[in-house]
């Protein structure tokens, strides 16, 4: 089923619906996040087995800091547990862990083990797992623009050299393959400030399934949908087909 030439190289997922999953099971929201963390483990493993080059997971947005402090604390603890408990899984499977977003805002009990695993896994080449943490697409575009402006002010680059390629490379995702497929769970159909630049030509896939219920079969359904897409990048169908 999974023709490697028709797989996305880079898949990103907006992991949404933990709270509603919990509510429907008569549980507190935090239990939804706990189940959501289990789904992360399953999907990372499946993505690696499938042969994706990069998987970016929207785990915590810049705007999610506005949630109740207890919920934020639970999410940070789950992040810590994830990086501590998944260390051998990540290392044994040759996965490189990176993070995008304002990671310096994370509490040290989460940031320190995250930094350690990112450093230790930096040489791994099987797949890149990119966690979006305290991430905002607009914030990241502004940060890249500011960095380029500063480099210009220092005389290191000429404004005329700033093009799409240079700008994209200045983003935190600059080292990742082009985003091919963007999935959002839980029936919401919006980007919520995720990968705004990177999603320019991504295929979008929405499913009603809440994130804690999103498993390997759901992932395969998304990949199957992607396989059937015709990506035209502004050209005509005839041009795409004659190019083979
Ligand atoms: C996604 O689930 C997890 C995070 C945003 C951290 P939600 O917590 O947003 O779940 P819903 O949308 O309230 O159901
Ligand atoms: C987006 O989900 C952020 C993550 C999945 C981490 P939200 O649940 O925070 O998005 P909105 O607020 O419904 O747009
Ligand atoms: Mg939500």
61 lines ligand 2 (CB under 6 A): yes
* Shortest-distance ligand to the CA of residue 194: 2
- Ligand 3 centre to CA of 17 (Å) is 5
Q: Is residue 219 part of a domain?
A: yes
pLDDT at 26: 98
pLDDT value, residue 5? 79
Q: Is the CB–ligand 1 distance for residue 19 below 6 Å? A: yes
Domain of 106 in residue numbering reads as 4-134+178-229
pLDDT for 4: 77
CA 147/CA 141 separation, integer angstroms: 10
Q: Would you say the CB of residue 74 lies under 6 angstroms from ligand 2?
A: no
Please tell me the predicted confidence (pLDDT) of residue 1: 56
Instruction: Compute the Cα dihedral for 40, 42, 47, 48 and give only its sign.
Output: positive
- What is the distance in A from the centroid of ligand 2 to the CA of 16? 6
Confidence of residue 3 (pLDDT cuts 50, 70, 90): confident
pLDDT of amino acid 175: 97
pLDDT digits (tens, 9 = 90+) for 145-161: 999 999 999 999 999 99
Tell me the average pLDDT across 209-225.
Answer: 98
From the CB of residue 51, how many other CB atoms can be counted at a distance below 10 Å?
12
Instruction: For 94-139, write each residue's pLDDT tens digit.
Output: 999 999 999 999 999 999 999 999 999 999 999 999 999 999 999 9
Residue-level pLDDT at 75: 98
Active site residue 64: yes
Torsion of CA 223, 229, 230, 234, to 10 degrees: -90
Calculate mean pLDDT across residues 170-183: 98
Q: Does a structural domain hold residue 160?
A: no
Distance of CA 32 from the midpoint of ligand 1 (Å): 8
For range 46-74, the mean pLDDT: 98
Among 64, 93, 124, 193, which one carries the catalytic annotation? 64
Structural domains counted in the chain: 1
Q: What is the pLDDT of residue 120?
A: 98
Is 234 contained in some domain?
Answer: no
Does the annotation mark 16 as catalytic? yes
Q: Report pLDDT digits (tens) over 189-214.
A: 999 999 999 999 999 999 999 999 99
* CATH code: domain of residue 116: 3.40.1180.10
Residue 30, in any domain of the structure: yes
Residue 14 Cβ < 6 Å to ligand 2: yes
Q: What distance in angstroms lies between residue 55's CA and the mean position of ligand 2's atoms? A: 18
Ligand 2: which of 64, 99, 195 to mutate, judged by most atoms within 8 Å of the beta carbon?
Answer: 64
Query: Is residue 92 assigned to a domain?
Result: yes
For residue 59, the ligand 1 atom closest to its alpha carbon is 6
Mean pLDDT of 68-89: 98
In a domain, 159, yes or no: no
Within a domain: 157: no
Q: Over the chain, what HEC string results?
A: CCCHHHCCCEEEEECCCHHHHHHHCCCCHHHHHHHHHHHHHHHHHHHHHHCCCEEEEEEEEHHHHHCCHHHHHHHHHHHHHHHHHCHHHHHHCCEEEEEECCHHHCCHHHHHHHHHHHHHHCCCCCEEEEEEEEECHHHHHHHHHHHHHHHHHCCCCCHHHCCHHHHHHHCCCCCCCCCCEEEECCCCCCCCCCCCCHHHHCEEEECCCCHHHCCHHHHHHHHHHHHCCCCCCCCCHHHHHHCC
Average pLDDT, the chain: 97
Q: Are 212 and 21 in contact (CB under 8 A)?
A: yes
- % of the chain residues with pLDDT over 70: 99
Summarize the confidence of residues 44-48 as an average pLDDT: 98
Question: Residue 232 pLDDT more than 90?
Answer: yes
Q: Is residue 120 part of a domain?
A: yes
> Is the pLDDT assigned to residue 24 strictly greater than 80?
yes
The span from the CA of 74 to the CA of 29, in Å, is 10
């Amino acid at each position: 089923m999974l023709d490697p030439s028709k797989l996305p190289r880079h898949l990103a997922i907006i992991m949404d619906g933990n709270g509603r999953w919990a509510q429907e099971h008569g549980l507190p929201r935090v239990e939804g996040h706990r189940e959501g963390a289990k789904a992360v483990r399953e999907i990372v493993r499946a993505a690696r087995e499938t042969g994706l080059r990069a998987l970016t997971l929207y785990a915590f947005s810049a705007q999610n800091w506005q949630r109740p402090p207890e919920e934020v604390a639970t999410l940070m603890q789950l992040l810590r547990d994830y990086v501590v408990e998944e260390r051998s899984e990540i290392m044994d499977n040759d996965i490189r862990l990176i993070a995008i977003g304002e990671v310096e805002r994370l509490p040290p009990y989460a940031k320190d083990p995250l930094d350690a695993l990112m450093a230790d896994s930096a040489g791994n080449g099987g797949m890149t797992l990119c966690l979006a943490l305290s991430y905002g697409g607009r914030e990241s575009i502004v940060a890249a623009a500011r960095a380029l402006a500063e480099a210009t002010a220092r005389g290191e680059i000429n404004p005329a050299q700033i093009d799409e390629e240079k700008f994209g490379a200045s983003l935190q995702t600059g080292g990742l393959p082009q985003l091919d497929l963007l999935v959002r769970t839980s029936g919401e159909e919006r980007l919520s400030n995720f990968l705004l630049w990177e999603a320019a030509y991504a295929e979008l896939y929405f499913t009603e399934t809440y994130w804690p219920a999103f498993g390997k079969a759901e992932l395969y359904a998304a990949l199957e949908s992607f396989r059937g897409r015709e990506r035209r990048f502004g050209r005509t169908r005839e041009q795409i087909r004659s190019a083979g």
